[in-house]
Structure 1
């Protein structure tokens, strides 16, 4: 029988989850689903030893526990450290990590977007030697043209997006050439990084929610947070305030490429980022039956692919 999100509502799954959780948390007093997406489930665990959260992704996105396993060995200060994980079932158990970066910003805490993006890039750089261990979708800028040819030929792309998919081969291909010329290594790309996907840790940001992750150019990670920040201050993405927080991230790579070249490559990296969004949506749409996906999202992979060529 094909997997569906209904499994997360079953008594059998709840019993299985409680059995897996309780050795790490003590007796489970309450298990409450707090994120109810067809592509992922998150449950709050009120237990004998405190408050915890447990997550599982849909089959197409089941690599988050593996990412957490790898990062907990090499960069424990940059992630919400797992209490327990099961890579085979993609189950990840963590403690309540406190305030998100967004909550801290709203409260006027002494945090900002510059350190958030700087820490995100430090995590990406730290991931370089182990990115292969995460076994993620690889979007190599140097090979993105061939990747998009396969995508165009293999995906079920609605007719209205076919011309854009054709255009993406050369438009994003040229962008990939520009980014590849920088000589930066492939790294972990969170692929949905923003201020609500990081907690305030003792030494900076602790990142979570890696279900959309891919391996790509580290510059591609910036598209989402820069857009979110620009909207939060009602500014364009060319606003000097937006460019300033981009610089806080780019300087992490400035020993490998000049800052001027890194800045100039951001528009090209944004095209790669759109392909990454298309990839994660395709993984979701291929593994979650259509009837469980809201109509607005059913063509999200093709829409992001078209966006990459604009």
Structure 2
């Protein structure tokens, strides 16, 4: 069976999933799909040996098991370690990891956004020597102009976004040149990094949900969390509180480039981040049947490309 979103609700799929899970969890007493998205499925597993979660991504995003396999060897303290994984089918099985960072913050726990982003950058830096092993889409800042030209020419770009995509070639190309001049290595860019995609671990954050990941400048990973944090405190992204957590992340790279230059590059990095979001949406839209995609998500890849020029 090809394990894709079209068959996730079939009895045959559930039977095969139970067969894969059971040797690792003991007898499965309950299997409930708790995330019902066309780009990924997550099932809560109530089993003899506890509570677990199984996950699979849509075909265009089937890279997470491979990424987690690599990270579990080099940075086990920074990820939710797998109980089992199948790289060929992109299946992950993890034990219940407790509270997400967002839940802990809401409960008043002594965790902070500074630690979350600092740990995320430590994980990114740790990924550098093994980046090629993950098989990620590469969005090199130095080559982002060529990537955008190919996307403009090969992707389906609705008329409403064409002018923005045309503008992005030069605008984001210049941003890529600025980032490349910093001399930072390419690293794992989670590409959907925020406080609900990390659990509270014994020594800091444990990250999960790598389906959107790309290889890019580590600074690009900061667009999403800085925006989420700013929104959570009803502030602009230029608020000193937002800049303080940005500094906690940038400090990890400050031995390679001056902090002033890293801070000055965040706007350029945000443009690269928009291209990374476009890339993950393109993978989804190219591999998920159109009838499964909500109207407001169609054209999301082109919309993000156009957004990168704003």
Give the structure 2 partner of residue 223 of structure 1.
223
Deviations for 1:132-162, whole angstroms, at most 9, x for unmatched residues?
Answer: 1001110000000011110100001011111
The TM-score with structure 1 as length reference comes to: 0.99
Give the structure 1 partner of residue 206 of structure 2.
206
Give the structure 2 partner of residue 143 of structure 1.
143
Asked if 1:293 corresponds to 2:293, the answer is: yes
Kindly tell me the number of residue pairs found equivalent between the two proteins.
Answer: 310
Give the structure 2 partner of residue 82 of structure 1.
82
Asked if 1:127 corresponds to 2:127, the answer is: yes
Give the structure 2 partner of residue 304 of structure 1.
304
Asked if 1:196 corresponds to 2:196, the answer is: yes
| Structure 1 residue 3, shift from structure 2 partner | 7.4
Q: 1:80 to 1:3 in 2, by over 3 A?
A: closer
Give the structure 1 partner of residue 280 of structure 2.
280
Give the structure 1 partner of residue 173 of structure 2.
173
Return 5+ residue gaps in structure 2 as ranges.
Answer: none
Deviations for 1:237-295, whole angstroms, at most 9, x for unmatched residues?
Answer: 00000000000000000000000000000000000000000000000000001110110
The answer on whether the counterparts of 1:4 and 1:289 sit within 8 Å (CA) in structure 2 is: no
| Structure 1 residue 6, shift from structure 2 partner | 2.7
Give the structure 2 partner of residue 184 of structure 1.
184
Return 5+ residue gaps in structure 1 as ranges.
Answer: none
Task: Name the SS for the 2:8 alignment partner.
Answer: helix
Q: Where in structure 2 are the equivalents of 1:105-124 lying within 5 Å?
A: 105-124=105-124
| Structure 1 residue 228, shift from structure 2 partner | 0.1
- Rounded to whole Å, the distance in 2 between the matches of 1:130 and 1:301 is 28
Task: Name the SS for the 1:226 alignment partner.
Answer: helix
Task: Name the SS for the 1:9 alignment partner.
Answer: coil
- Rounded to whole Å, the distance in 1 between the matches of 2:5 and 2:190 is 23
Give the structure 2 partner of residue 249 of structure 1.
249
Give the structure 2 partner of residue 64 of structure 1.
64
Give the structure 2 partner of residue 265 of structure 1.
265
- Rounded to whole Å, the distance in 2 between the matches of 1:184 and 1:10 is 46
The TM-score with structure 2 as length reference comes to: 0.99
- Rounded to whole Å, the distance in 1 between the matches of 2:159 and 2:101 is 41
The answer on whether the counterparts of 1:3 and 1:288 sit within 8 Å (CA) in structure 2 is: no
Task: Name the SS for the 2:109 alignment partner.
Answer: coil
The answer on whether the counterparts of 1:194 and 1:225 sit within 8 Å (CA) in structure 2 is: yes
Task: Name the SS for the 1:52 alignment partner.
Answer: strand
Task: Name the SS for the 1:108 alignment partner.
Answer: coil
- Rounded to whole Å, the distance in 1 between the matches of 2:210 and 2:269 is 20
Task: Name the SS for the 1:212 alignment partner.
Answer: coil
